[in-house]
Structure 1
Amino acid sequence: MFILLSALSLFMSGGEPVKSPKKANLQVDVQNVRTMKGDVYIALFNAKNTFPEGKPLEGKKLEAKEKSVQTTFSVDPGEYAIAVYHDENGNGKMDKRVFGIPKEPYGFSNNFRPTMSAPKFSDCQFSVGNSNKSISIKLN
């Protein structure tokens, strides 16, 4: 019995506790909000999500009441990409023209500007380490 208790106490106290990675704050500043109506949608993706059309890792909806809007995500260190659009008419979706060209302002991390097709994750990808990070996205 003594051996069993000794082994159990050794197992329970054994070594360093496993630490989860420290989360960092990712500050996102969306600039060039042209009209002070509707909402700005910000979608955070990691490599496991289908960028930019799939379900994001996390999304935020901010009221468009200033020329720029800011939000913060708490994230693990890793690779991310962000897609943003300004729903000016408040209908809850990105309005598009013929051939899927957006009617409403949009933007991507790295201020990537797609020409003929939607961007790839690698076009808009950025790294977040153990410390806080700020990025700026300009709507076009």
Structure 2
Amino acid sequence: MFKSQLINVVFAAALLGLTATAAHAETASLTVVCDNLKPQGKVMIAIYDSQAGYDGDKAVSYAMADVTSSQAKVTVELAPGEYGLKMFHDIDGDGRMGMNPFGMPTEPFAFSNNAKGNMGPATWDAARFTVTAPETTQNIAF
């Protein structure tokens, strides 16, 4: 019995080592610079790594930045790859995008690549971009 416990401990330690190695895989910095903002509230950013995630609103990460001037900036660490961003300026600070009774946004919003939507969000093809090491920057005009 002791031998099987020892094997389990060795296996668990090896697995943890592999997990730690995977966690230290190459990362890249993504800096999002948002311009033309009213100096109040926060910019809320959802980060997607696939068309399915983007279209299904299943973000792999989120970021937010306080807006104290006409520009806000936030940096996140990501694995290199393709990403798309959906963001809005939460002017009233309630953590939700303001909507009118017809479902139209009442707070400013934007997408990566400054892509524009047509009766809905910008498409994944218009919004996607590549994050490469060491750093990638997205400049977004609200």
Corresponding residue for residue 26 of structure 1: 30
Q: In structure 1, what residue type is equivalent to 2:78?
A: V
Deviations 1:90-130 (A, max 9, x none): 12110112442211011100101112222222220001123
- The normalised TM-score by structure 2 is 0.75
User: Letter of the aligned partner of 2:26 in structure 1?
Assistant: K
| Structure 2 unaligned blocks of 5 or more | 1-20
3-state SS in 2 of match to 1:70: strand
Q: Aligned residue for 2:84?
A: 81
- 8 Å CA contact 2:117–2:123 kept in 1: the answer is no
Residue among 117, 122, 133 paired with 1:119: 122
Residue 30 of structure 1 aligns to a residue whose secondary structure is strand
Identify the residue that residue 105 of structure 1 maps to in structure 2. 108
Structure 1 vs Structure 2 CA RMSD: 2.1
Q: Percent identity?
A: 26
* Cα separation, 1, equivalents of 2:134 and 2:97: 33
TM-score where L is the length of structure 1:
0.76
Moved over 6 A (4+): none
**1:22 and 1:83, CA in 2 relative to 1: closer, same or farther beyond 3 A?**
same
- Residue identity opposite 1:40 in structure 2: V
Deviates most, 126-135 or 77-86: 126-135
Query: Highest Rg: 1 or 2?
Result: 1
Aligned pairs, number: 121
Distance in 2 between the 1:107 and 1:117 partners? 11
Counterpart secondary structure, 2:53: coil
For 1:44, what is the secondary structure of its paired residue?
strand
Of Structure 1 and Structure 2, the greater helix share is in 2
Matched, 1:94 2:97: yes
- Counterpart position of 1:58: 61
1:80 Cα shift? 0.2
1:70 aligns with 2:73: yes
Contact 2:51 2:124 in 1 (8 A): no
Structure 1, 76-85 or 94-103: larger mean CA deviation: 94-103
